[in-house]
Structure 1
Amino acid sequence: MPYQPNRRSFLIASGLTALASTKAFGANNTIRIGVIGAGGRMQNLLDCADKVGPCQIVAVSDVYGPHRDAVKERSNGIATTHLDYREVLDKDIDAVIIASPDHWHVRMAVDALSAGKDVYLEKPVTHTIEEGAALTRAVRSGKQILQCGMQQRSWTHFRDAVDLIQGGSLGRVTQVRTYWWQNYGLHWPTKPVDTQALDWKLWLGAAPDQPFSEEKFHRWRWYWDFGGGAMTDLFTHWIDVVHWAMKTEQPRQAQIIADKFVFEQWDCPDTLQAAFRYPGFDVVYEGMMSSSIDDGGLEFRGNEATLKINRSGFAVYREGVKNDQNPVLKSESFRDGTISHMENFFECVHSRKEPNAPVETGVAAARAGQIGNLAYHRNGQISWPTKSST
């Protein structure tokens, strides 16, 4: 029997469900924000915050002067500037947004929670598997809100796609393909660093002491001391969608083939293929950092239909339906999910409700990527949990 989209499908395709739920805050509900880590990603997050406000940047902390100055300027000169992020936590603020390098995430978030501040924490929320328990404990032992920066959880078409998958529209899903290609040579130009305006020692924090490197400062995600490469930068987003849609949280096994073919100066591989076994299904990932054709996305393959999704939208392809009638359902994104995700965070700051991406989801997504990295360091494969982790 041919697949017939119903009213729910129409709502998914048109995006009316999201439009109906959109609301604005009153002028007297201004959220006072502290900014911690004011690089490029923070500028994107603040752009999104401006769209769902009202909010006011009260203070900013960054170890690089030009970053601090840029945030002070966008606050119309109101924000105070600080080297030490703990000085931001002493301010009269409601929440902090943290977009520092990964190796600072948990320490900053735990201190912010202890200071009674709500937290928007960029992904991956942890730098190591061991940090997951500490972050979760810090959130669940208090009453503060922590939103993990897994914006797909608030992105309308991702939410609708998850509803379809969990509703059985694809049949039995036994394989999920994920991929992400970027070109650091083409799309990621860097600016010279004014070392006189940078506190490199403070930037390193608890990482091993080492000489200043402009490459590490700009591309820290690709060095083990500060990040985790593609597994925690890119795969983390997609595996979070998988965990959400498939109602699971960690793989049992991981295998990986990876190498540094182009960016030999990095610690982390620039080209990789990985496979993860979950109870009842497998997840595969492939990507490289010197080709950006196709960008990133996921494919949920079931015995009745396949759903292909990226940040632009999704399409459902029905088994047994002629090519000229496929896809049987399409949905396009009409709003950047980070805007909706920041809106959800602000709403939770007011309502004290659980955010769309609570701490457990961020920890699980980061852990999956970290398990992949462990496999890379252990001759390409690992079972989880290991004997040492039980």
Structure 2
Amino acid sequence: MKRREFIKNASLASAAIGFPTIVPASVFGKGAPSNKIQIGQIGCGRIARDHDLPGVWQHDVARIIAVSDLDRNRMADGKSWVENFYSKKMGTPYLEVKMYEDYHDMLANPEIDAIVISTPDHWHSQPAMEAALAGKHVYLQKPTSLTIREGRQLADAVKKTGVMLQLGTQQRSSIQFRKAAELVRNGRIGKLHTVKIGLPGDPSGPDAPAMPVPANLNYDMWLGSTPEVPYTEIGVHPQQGYDRPGWLRLEQYGAGMITGWGQHHFDSAAWGMDTELTGPRYIEAVADFPRSGLWNVHGDFMVKAEYDNGIRMLTSGGYPNGIRYEGEEGWIWVSRGNYVASASDPVAKENSTKALDASDPAILDSVIGPDEIHLQQSKEHHGNWLGAIQGENDLLSPVEIGHRACSVCLISHIAMKMGRRLEWDPKTEQFVNDPEANTHLERSQRAPYGTNYVKV
């Protein structure tokens, strides 16, 4: 659907249901919310404030009109922050952002066209599935899922509905990652044989006694599908401020940096390797895990993956943070450079300032010819998503590609636990002749939460 048609249909729909009186009459016209893609934000924490909310509101085609968070203090703070932004931008009290303690009520609001999900990892797949089934477009923070099964359930649900789901693997919208992938795909370093990926690990932490649950937090729902455990602040998020939350370092809610940043780098590497819709055939790993303290995700590690096309991929905290493609005729290195998605990202800018490098500088000056492979370009990741909703461009990080990149993260984590070489079948999404390894492809889900309880 082109923008003109989208705006026309949105206006007709608003007239039919009665647009809520949340704006003064003086601002109706070209900038009216009824002419915009109306966005609901689920999760008002660190990554929403540092990355997703600013990523959306910089695009005038969108309006954030609702927020939801299981921490009422964060939700109220998010509401005020969004309202203040629009008031400053429009020069008037522009709108009243609606708050939802339960995101399901947000999904039931027909005025909302699309959802941004910036929640902890264990709360990614379920609300994304439910939003898709409610006909809402979705921008989903990575990782795609907590398990392989969850990811497949989500991908299938999105395909069934046809909504636009964009994974938050925004490195694809950074020019250096696209350029590196294009140069590799077009043979500028000869036949690619090895990819080396640098990812940090996480530190161990202190012991943490149980604490009373804050009155502002719906802790039972926050735990979601994961087992019930006592509350402690460093296992959830800070009650004051928006520093890096402790849940990132607990396997109950994720897998640590192998998924936290791993999906970014595995996704970008697959772009250059031409393996976006498949996965490795063999995988093995070693990792150090904390022996004390609350936090229990991996520290130092090494993962080795082998693909059917002969490429070997090595991932470790011992490499610089980024991706190094090695071919028979040279190498290309790519990283985020000075860019950070959040002020509390675990890698300092000065340790990753070189965004693009090569064994021969002439490689980087090479021009991709008209008959060669040209990868999709995007100036900004949230903007690419909004453009896809309008029918103006393709999604850069659609759900199936996101699921495949996340799968590499998850089977790497399983290999860390198994401590032996595993054979993976990307078509069946099962380990070959290994029932024990296959038990790690899903987790039990605590009713009524989890993807297994979503009515598809």
- TM-score (structure 2 length as normaliser): 0.70
CA contact (8 A) 2:140 2:165 kept: yes
How far does residue 354 in structure 1 lie from its aligned partner after superposition? 3.3
How far does residue 132 in structure 1 lie from its aligned partner after superposition? 2.1
- Shifted more, 363-372 versus 80-89: the winner is 80-89
Task: Identify the residue that residue 40 of structure 1 maps to in structure 2.
Answer: 46
Q: In structure 2, do the counterparts of structure 1 residues 155 and 132 end up closer, same or farther at CA, with 3 Å as the change threshold?
A: same
- Shifted more, 38-47 versus 194-203: the winner is 194-203
CA contact (8 A) 2:378 2:396 kept: no
Q: In structure 2, do the counterparts of structure 1 residues 264 and 176 end up closer, same or farther at CA, with 3 Å as the change threshold?
A: farther
Is 1:73–2:77 an aligned residue pair?
A: no
Task: Identify the residue that residue 223 of structure 1 maps to in structure 2.
Answer: 250
How far does residue 235 in structure 1 lie from its aligned partner after superposition? 1.6
Aligned partner (choices 176, 196, 220) of residue 157 of structure 1: 176
The AA in structure 2 aligned to 1:85 is Y
The AA in structure 1 aligned to 2:359 is Y
How far does residue 81 in structure 1 lie from its aligned partner after superposition? 1.2
Is 1:110–2:116 an aligned residue pair?
A: no
Q: Which runs of 5+ in 2 are unaligned?
A: 1-29, 84-94, 205-210, 237-244, 338-354, 367-376, 426-430, 442-456
Task: Identify the residue that residue 56 of structure 1 maps to in structure 2.
Answer: 63
Q: In structure 2, do the counterparts of structure 1 residues 309 and 171 end up closer, same or farther at CA, with 3 Å as the change threshold?
A: same
How far does residue 381 in structure 1 lie from its aligned partner after superposition? 3.2
Distance in 2, Cα, partners of 1:30 & 1:63? 27
Task: Identify the residue that residue 14 of structure 1 maps to in structure 2.
Answer: none
Task: Identify the residue that residue 104 of structure 2 maps to in structure 1.
Answer: 86
Q: In structure 2, do the counterparts of structure 1 residues 255 and 277 end up closer, same or farther at CA, with 3 Å as the change threshold?
A: same
How many aligned residue pairs are there? Answer: 343
Q: In structure 2, do the counterparts of structure 1 residues 246 and 64 end up closer, same or farther at CA, with 3 Å as the change threshold?
A: same
Q: Percent identity?
A: 28
How far does residue 339 in structure 1 lie from its aligned partner after superposition? 7.0
Spell out, residue by residue over 1:193-231, the C-alpha distance to the aligned partner (whole angstroms, 9 max, x if none): 981211111100111111102122022122222111121
Q: In structure 2, do the counterparts of structure 1 residues 301 and 262 end up closer, same or farther at CA, with 3 Å as the change threshold?
A: farther
Is the partner of 2:199 in helix, strand or coil? strand
> Map of 1:243-262 to 2, 5 A cutoff?
243-248=270-275, 249-260=278-289
Aligned partner (choices 7, 26, 37) of residue 31 of structure 1: 37
Distance in 2, Cα, partners of 1:171 & 1:264? 47
Is 1:340–2:380 an aligned residue pair?
A: yes
Aligned partner (choices 358, 361, 375) of residue 316 of structure 1: 358
> Map of 1:85-234 to 2, 5 A cutoff?
85-91=103-109, 92-181=111-200, 195-217=214-236, 218-234=245-261
Distance in 1, Cα, partners of 2:148 & 2:96? 38
Is 1:298–2:333 an aligned residue pair?
A: no
How far does residue 379 in structure 1 lie from its aligned partner after superposition? 2.2
Aligned partner (choices 265, 269, 282) of residue 312 of structure 2: 282
Distance in 2, Cα, partners of 1:163 & 1:98? 30
Spell out, residue by residue over 1:71-103, the C-alpha distance to the aligned partner (whole angstroms, 9 max, x if none): 101222621112211011122111100011111
Is 1:329–2:347 an aligned residue pair?
A: no
Q: In structure 2, do the counterparts of structure 1 residues 264 and 304 end up closer, same or farther at CA, with 3 Å as the change threshold?
A: farther
The AA in structure 2 aligned to 1:316 is A
The AA in structure 1 aligned to 2:314 is V
Is the partner of 1:211 in helix, strand or coil? coil
Is the partner of 1:228 in helix, strand or coil? coil
How far does residue 61 in structure 1 lie from its aligned partner after superposition? 1.0
Spell out, residue by residue over 1:293-313, the C-alpha distance to the aligned partner (whole angstroms, 9 max, x if none): x86211001111200000122
Is the partner of 1:226 in helix, strand or coil? coil
Distance in 2, Cα, partners of 1:261 & 1:146? 36
The AA in structure 2 aligned to 1:235 is G
Distance in 1, Cα, partners of 2:252 & 2:169? 22
How far does residue 57 in structure 1 lie from its aligned partner after superposition? 1.6
Distance in 2, Cα, partners of 1:264 & 1:179? 26
- TM-score (structure 1 length as normaliser): 0.81
How far does residue 66 in structure 1 lie from its aligned partner after superposition? 2.2
How far does residue 246 in structure 1 lie from its aligned partner after superposition? 1.1
Give RMSD over aligned pairs: 2.7
